[in-house]
Amino acid sequence: MPIEIFTTNYDLLMEQAFEDLRVPYFDGFAGVRKPFFDLRAMEEDQLPPRWAKLWKLHGSTNWYQDASKSVFRGSTKEHDSKRVIHPSHLKYDESRRMPYLAMIDRLRAFLKQPSAALIICGYSFRDDHINEVIVQGLQGNQTGTALALLFDNLEAYPKAIKLALERSNLSLLARDEAVIGSHRAKWKETDSDSIPSTGQQWIRWILIDTENEKSKRRAELSIGDYALFGSFLLELVGQIRQQTEALDAK
């Protein structure tokens, strides 16, 4: 099935990345001269697996609404057109309108799928309206799971902690701690001589006693850094391709 990407960012970096890599994607708009928002097309799931689906939950810098209240994508010179960027959590009530509702419905539909796996990166859990959808989806789908990769120490995400302690299928992996299966714990400590040789690009081992090189070290997980997460995915894709090629050779 096509991969689905949900983002709260307004910028066009995701579109640029898809196009640079020649990855076809669908974002809810159809047309060439003046692409228009097409709700019925969003509700269809018959895209080829190599396509991606891009759902911009809070709108985009290249979405516009004209005088007829129709939403389209691209540049505009019409004086009465305005950008469609939905309010953040600070204006919760104002965000309850199209195409926001259609985009958030795609997140709901995704979380209803059997064994749905939602990987969260770069999201701080400060948007209550999105948190609500994620939690409700996980409550209604016991085979679904969400894994949040957090950039900072766990204490910086109080809302995420509260949600994860109440939902066993929502896990948090932060720099210094994790919440997995509703249990919170710090990453392990180990002797300097026992540090594994693999995976060091994603994990840092910090000396607990800086005056003693042989003292124990504490693990710090760095995969919540979006750049490192991208490198991790590149390495993972490379491994999958190698395994596939090996199977084909047999």
- Give the tens place of pLDDT for each residue, 95-126: 446 688 889 999 999 999 999 999 999 999 99
Asked whether residue 220 falls in the same domain as residue 173, the answer is no
Q: What is the mean pLDDT of the chain?
A: 84
φ/ψ (deg, to 5) at 222: -105, 0
Q: What is the pLDDT of residue 22?
A: 93
Asked whether residue 89 falls in the same domain as residue 207, the answer is no
Residue 183: domain span: 3-187
Q: What is the pLDDT of residue 212?
A: 65
Instruction: Give the pair of three-digit tokens for residue 226.
Output: 């979006």
Asked whether residue 158 falls in the same domain as residue 240, the answer is no
Instruction: Give the pair of three-digit tokens for residue 13.
Output: 């970096």
Q: Which of 132, 167, 187 is the last residue of a domain?
A: 187
Distance separating alpha carbons of residues 71 and 36, to the nearest angstrom? 6
Asked whether residue 213 falls in the same domain as residue 123, the answer is no
Asked whether residue 101 falls in the same domain as residue 16, the answer is yes
Q: What is the pLDDT of residue 70?
A: 82
Q: What is the pLDDT of residue 147?
A: 97
Asked whether residue 103 falls in the same domain as residue 178, the answer is yes
Q: Which of 132, 155, 187 is the last residue of a domain?
A: 187
Total domains, the chain: 2
Asked whether residue 164 falls in the same domain as residue 200, the answer is no
Q: Which of 187, 205, 227 is the last residue of a domain?
A: 187
Q: What is the pLDDT of residue 88?
A: 46
Instruction: Give the pair of three-digit tokens for residue 66.
Output: 């004209």
Q: What is the pLDDT of residue 52?
A: 93
The residues with which 205 forms a beta bridge, in sequence order, are 219
From the number of C-beta atoms within 10 Å of its C-beta (0-12, 13-18, 19+), residue 239 rates as exposed
Asked whether residue 42 falls in the same domain as residue 139, the answer is yes
Task: With a cut of 50, list the residues of the chain below it in pLDDT.
Answer: 88-96
Residues 83 and 75: beta-carbon distance below 8 Å: no
Asked whether residue 197 falls in the same domain as residue 182, the answer is no
